[in-house]
Amino acid sequence: MSRKIHLALHPYGVGGPGQHGLWKDPEVAKNASIDIGYYIQQARAAEHALFDALFIVDSQFINATYPAHYLNRLEPLTLLSAVATHTRHVGLVGTASSTYNSPFNLARRFGSLDHISGGRAGWNVVTSFDTGTSRNYGLEEHLDYATRYGRALEAVQVIQGLWDSYEDDAFPADVERGVFLDPDKLHALNHDGEHFRVDGPLNLSRSPQGQPVIFQAGVSDEGRDLAAKVAEGIYAPGGSFEDAKAYYADIKRRTAEAGRDPEHIKIFIHGSPVVRGTDAEAQRRAREISEEDKDFGRSLALLGRSFGAHDFSQYDLDAPFPDVAHLAERGGRTGATKIIERARAGGLTLRQVAESIAESKQSPFVGAPGTVADTIQRWFEAGTFDGINLAFRNNTDLTWFVDSVVPLLQRRGLFRTEYEGTTLRENLGLPIPENRYTRERNLVQA
């Protein structure tokens, strides 16, 4: 089978949204989220299993109600630069906001990671979910959706332009002629747009993969359109089989309409497999995890994140869900809108909404190794994903999957038995972007 499943690892640290009890797990070090040794171990485990990438999420606003991992964690680019020196093949994908970073700094930081890792860097482009971040950067309020996504598109385009500052053969380093740089192969960007003015050039050459891989995670129409225009990888919401299939088809359609090859955008759904010797044992472990994470206060706070870190504790829990639709525009609009619609349709109280958010959304990938492999194969062949962004409760769950499910996928021809190359692009089956200035010169000469 020519088409292969891609797998990425998303380490939880001491517990992100919904994993309220993870920090109590005896297998999880209480300082895991700030322990570089933990991340190196996770990356090496992923590389041993031939996974495509290690994926690090981020946000830049917290309060005391936030998940344990959010309260105390390492900055992604710093973290991944350290991990890069302890791995050779696994991709390194970090999250950074296009809203609260300048394109030049982002271009240089991700370009540097790409060089340090030998061509394994990826940028997960976000527009920032937590509206409180704005006040950490001197703004009174978060930008609206249209502005955020317009800024994101321009930022990616500027950064890709900066990554092309040097053509591939710009540095002859010819000692005999005394020529280190061919000045004709260095190009200033001279960008003057709606959101950014950036002259360039970037003081960093292209890496073995040409440019870091662009990932994106939006689910709104604006997010999907941005993905269709610039993304090479997508972290999709997943959900039910039908939802995942519809999302996959929609993104591939939008990509084609944007004039791009749909095969050059890889869609990863979220997956939290629970694997044990039998289906019954795996289901029992999944129920235990659900019970470990029950915490109504944390669930109420988590609900607030979709509405810009809004404090829902100020309302009567048993009154109808409050009218907070105006907060969705500068928060997680897609998720917030769905919550509001469900509350109105069902006449739900605030307590009921919070409890429904907290209810276990059990992964479809739960069971004995054969059961999980069968489900993954069915979803993959039906066109619901190109890859899975895997999150495991602890190292025991990671080991179960790697030792029992991965070999089954390999025997079925669904997953690699060795890395295709040394760069993230090679392993994802993505082309190296041709330098724009080289392309223009070749067209003129033709």
Would you say how long the chain is, in residues?
Answer: 446
pLDDT for position 68: 94
Q: Could you tell me if residue 378 is left (phi over 0), alpha (psi between -120 and 50 degrees) or otherwise beta?
A: alpha
Non-local (6+) Cβ contacts of 348 within 8 A are: 320, 321, 342, 356
Q: Give 255-306 pLDDT, tens digit per residue.
A: 999 999 999 999 999 999 999 999 999 999 999 999 998 888 888 888 887 7
Note the pTM of the prediction, 2 decimals.
Answer: 0.92
Q: How, if at all, do strands 197-198 and 191-192 pair?
A: antiparallel
Instruction: Find, among 134, 108, 139, 120, the residue nearest to 203 by Cα.
Output: 108
CA distance 96 to 217: 12
**Burial letters 33-47, b for 16+ CB under 10 A, else e:** beeeebbbbbbbbbb
Q: Give 144-183 pLDDT, tens digit per residue.
A: 888 999 999 999 999 999 999 999 999 999 999 999 999 9
Q: Which residue has the tokens 């994908």?
A: 93
Binding residues: 58, 95, 149, 220
Number of neighbours of residue 252 by Cβ within 10 angstroms? 17
The pLDDT-based confidence of 113 (bands split at 50, 70, 90) is very high
pLDDT for position 160: 98
Residue 221's identity, in one-letter code, is D
Rounded average pLDDT over 204-230: 93
CA distance 63 to 301: 10
Share of the chain above pLDDT 70, in %: 98
Query: What dihedral do alpha carbons 105, 391, 423, 159 form, nearest 10°?
Result: -20
Instruction: Find, among 411, 404, 415, the residue nearest to 369 by Cα.
Output: 404
CA distance 267 to 388: 8
Structure tokens at 178: 């005394």
pLDDT for position 304: 81
**Do you find a cis peptide bond into 201, omega within 30 degrees of 0?**
yes
Q: Check whether 10 has a pLDDT greater than 90.
A: yes
**Three-class secondary structure assignment of the chain:** CCCCCEEEECCCCCCCCCCCCHHHCCCCCCCHHHCHHHHHHHHHHHHHCCCCEEEECCCCCCCCCCCHHHHCCCCHHHHHHHHHCCCCCCEEEEEEECCCCCHHHHHHHHHHHHHHCCCCEEEEEECCCCCCHHHHCCCCCCCCHHHHHHHHHHHHHHHHHHHCCECCCCCCCECCCCECCCHHHECCCCEECCCCEECCCCCCCCECCECCEEEECCCCHHHHHHHHHHCCEEEECCCCHHHHHHHHHHHHHHHHHCCCCHHHCEEEEEECCEECCCHHHHHHHHHHHHHHCCCHHHHHHHHHHCCCCCCHHHCCCCCECCCCHHHHHHCCHHHHHHHHHHHHHHCCEHHHHHHHHHCCCCCCCEECHHHHHHHHHHHHHCCCCCEEEECCCCHHHHHHHHHHHHHHHHHCCCCCCCCCCCCHHHHHCCCCCCCHHHHHHHHHHC
Q: How, if at all, do strands 6-9 and 387-390 pair?
A: parallel
Binding residues for FMN: 58, 95, 149, 220
The pLDDT-based confidence of 125 (bands split at 50, 70, 90) is very high
Q: Give 222-253 pLDDT, tens digit per residue.
A: 889 999 999 999 999 888 999 999 999 999 99
pLDDT for position 311: 86
* Domains (range + CATH), the chain: 6-280+362-442 (3.20.20.30), 294-358 (no CATH)
Q: Could you tell me if residue 93 is left (phi over 0), alpha (psi between -120 and 50 degrees) or otherwise beta?
A: beta
Across all residues in the chain, what is the average pLDDT? Answer: 93
**What's the half-sphere exposure (Cβ side, CA atoms, 13 Å) at 38?**
19
Q: Check whether 360 has a pLDDT greater than 60.
A: no
Q: Which phi and psi (to 5°) does residue 398 adopt?
A: -60, -45
CA distance 309 to 311: 6
